[in-house]
Amino acid sequence: MFASLRLLSRRTLASQVSRIQSIAQAPVRQFSAEAAATKSGGWISGGGKWALLFGAAGLGGWYYAKENDFVGGVTGKAPSSAPTVPDYDKVRKAISDLMASDKAEEYDDGSFGPILVRLAWHCSGSYDKASNTGGSNGATMRFPPESGIGANKGLDVARKLLDPLKEQFPWISYSDLWTLAGAVAIEEMGGPEIPWRPGRTDQPDGKNCPPDGRLPDASKGAQHIRDIFYRMGFNDQEIVALSGAHALGRCHRDRSGFEGPWTNSPITFSNEYFKLLLDEKWNKKKWNGPLQYEDKTSKALMMLPTDMALVWDKKFKPYVELYAKDDEKFFQDFAKAFSTLLELGVPFKEELPNKA
Ligand code: HEM
């Protein structure tokens, strides 16, 4: 509770206004009972097996089902209207509760939000369009070698945080859970609503882990950023929009080697990152660590070499300027690009109707 109060108190009026505006314009979520029923045919047959089991177990089975959020059809009586579908709203609520827990208050800047966003991004950002490999489907980051690569250092924290939710809702795949947690975290931190739908399945082992080197190296420049994100299928504008997530969270010396937050409100989603990139003077930090930049005013904020590349590159910079001026446009473009990122390589049966 305290964490959520703190989170709210840190939000600026401007970001609250943007949130209201963005929610008013945001597309409708795609996790309704109807969507879930059409998307999860495989699940429903799995659910049928559970239903038999619970029927035999009588009241105990009913209690288990109630606790684990199977909606309808598990008490032995055929439900008149409610279909047997998993309730993703319950999972959303559990993620929000986790973010507002007292445990979260003690962590970093008072929220698990940023690291949940990073988990969703790193499990998805391994996608390679040419070979249609990698991406969030499979949740292969549970296994070596992907779990142990340098780029994923620290993400065990996020994975462990979500494990109890996987136990509470055993019907959800890890890959759906991790991506949903990233989407909910953005929303809970004042960001736009992220279109999200279920349908990912988990791999049983690490045989299909994507090779190391698919995630960006923060010490490099514009060409490297393009190599990495074009490989996933993104364009320059989407690259800049996605990079705006660095309004959130911080670098940790013992994870990436870099240190510090990008903005003064690292648990509030905003266009502050773009404003700072343009308005501040950024100097090389003099320290015993990898090259990073610090703001001249407070020396408390940081930028990575890849962040600076967005203002140094003449094709990226106009988008930095656009998003610094227009937070509504940033929220819209981020929501669309982040939703696309979470879906890369996922073999959905149908197209998401609200995506252009
Ligand atoms: C060129 C592209 C990118 C590079 C080089 C990069 C690099 C990094 C690095 C080095 C960290 C610090 C990790 C640590 O020490 O804990 C970090 C954190 C973070 N990144 Fe990125 N990133 C990139 C793109 C993205 C994208 C596309 C997103 C999401 C859409 C994102 C979201 C985050 C978040 C939320 C954190 C904070 C995590 C925390 O506070 O624990 N990043 N990134």
What are the extents of the domains in the chain? 2-33+89-216, 34-86, 222-335
Q: Residue 155: which H helix or E strand, with range?
A: helix 155-168
Closest listed residue to residue 281, CA positions, set 266, 303, 259, 261: 303
What pLDDT does residue 351 have?
58
Strands, E assignment, 142-278: 250-251, 260-261
Closest listed residue to residue 338, CA positions, set 230, 196, 199: 196
Catalytic residue among 43, 121, 122, 178: 122
Peptide bond into 145 cis (omega under 30): yes
CB 186 within 8 A of CB 117: yes
Q: Whose CA is nearest to atom 25 of ligand 1?
A: 243
Q: Residue 86: which H helix or E strand, with range?
A: strand 85-86
What pLDDT does residue 349 have?
77
Query: How far does the centroid of ligand 1 lie from the alpha carbon of residue 329, in Å?
Result: 21
pLDDT digits (tens, 9 = 90+) for 7-59: 433 333 333 433 433 333 333 333 333 333 333 333 333 333 333 333 343 34
Q: How confident is the model at residue 352 (pLDDT cuts 50, 70, 90)?
A: low
CB 188 within 8 A of CB 274: no
Tokens at 176, concatenated: 């759906």
Tokens at 95, concatenated: 């993620």
90 CB near ligand 1 (under 6 Å) = no
Backbone φ and ψ of 228, nearest 5°? -70, -50
Query: How far does the centroid of ligand 1 lie from the alpha carbon of residue 306, in Å?
Result: 10
Q: Whose CA is nearest to atom 35 of ligand 1?
A: 114
Backbone φ and ψ of 196, nearest 5°? -140, 140
112 CB near ligand 1 (under 6 Å) = no
Strands 260-261 and 282-284: unpaired
C-alpha 98/C-alpha 184 separation (Å) is 11
What pLDDT does residue 85 have?
77
Tokens at 120, concatenated: 């969703």
Matching CATH number, 2-33+89-216, of 1.10.520.10, 1.10.40.50, 1.10.3720.10, 1.10.630.10: 1.10.520.10
Closest listed residue to residue 338, CA positions, set 144, 201, 222, 193: 193
pLDDT digits (tens, 9 = 90+) for 162-221: 999 999 999 999 999 999 999 999 999 999 999 999 999 999 999 999 999 999 999 999
What pLDDT does residue 86 have?
86
12 CB near ligand 1 (under 6 Å) = no
Query: How far does the centroid of ligand 1 lie from the alpha carbon of residue 54, in Å?
Result: 43
Which atom of ligand 1 has the smallest separation from the CA of 334? Answer: 30
316 CB near ligand 1 (under 6 Å) = no
Asked which of 37-46, 254-263, 347-356 is least confident by mean pLDDT, the reply is 37-46
What pLDDT does residue 310 have?
98
- Report the predicted TM-score, pTM, of the whole model to 2 decimal places: 0.81
- What CATH number labels 222-335? 1.10.420.10
3-state secondary structure of 295: strand
Query: How many C-beta neighbours within 10 Å does residue 83 have?
Result: 14
116 CB near ligand 1 (under 6 Å) = no
Q: Which amino acid is at 155?
A: L
Query: How far does the centroid of ligand 1 lie from the alpha carbon of residue 32, in Å?
Result: 31
| Contact partners, residue 208, CB within 8 Å, separation at least 6 | 133, 138, 140
256 CB near ligand 1 (under 6 Å) = yes
Q: Whose CA is nearest to atom 41 of ligand 1?
A: 115
239 CB near ligand 1 (under 6 Å) = no
CB 191 within 8 A of CB 246: no
C-alpha 126/C-alpha 119 separation (Å) is 12
C-alpha 262/C-alpha 269 separation (Å) is 12
Query: How many C-beta neighbours within 10 Å does residue 206 have?
Result: 16
**Mean pLDDT of the 316-331 span:** 98
Mark whether 122 is an active-site residue: yes
Per-residue CA distances from 137 to 4, 55, 173, 217 (Å): 31, 32, 9, 23
Query: How far does the centroid of ligand 1 lie from the alpha carbon of residue 81, in Å?
Result: 45
Pocket test for ligand 1, best of 152, 246, 293 (most atoms within 8 A of CB): 246
Chain-centre distance for alpha carbon 254: 22
Which atom of ligand 1 has the smallest separation from the CA of 337? Answer: 30
Question: What is the overall mean pLDDT for the chain?
Answer: 83
Strands, E assignment, 179-338: 250-251, 260-261, 282-284, 293-295, 302-303
Tokens at 30, concatenated: 């795609």
pLDDT digits (tens, 9 = 90+) for 262-280: 999 999 999 999 999 999 9
- CA angle at residue 267 from 265 to 273, to 5 degrees? 50
Query: How far does the centroid of ligand 1 lie from the alpha carbon of residue 246, in Å?
Result: 6
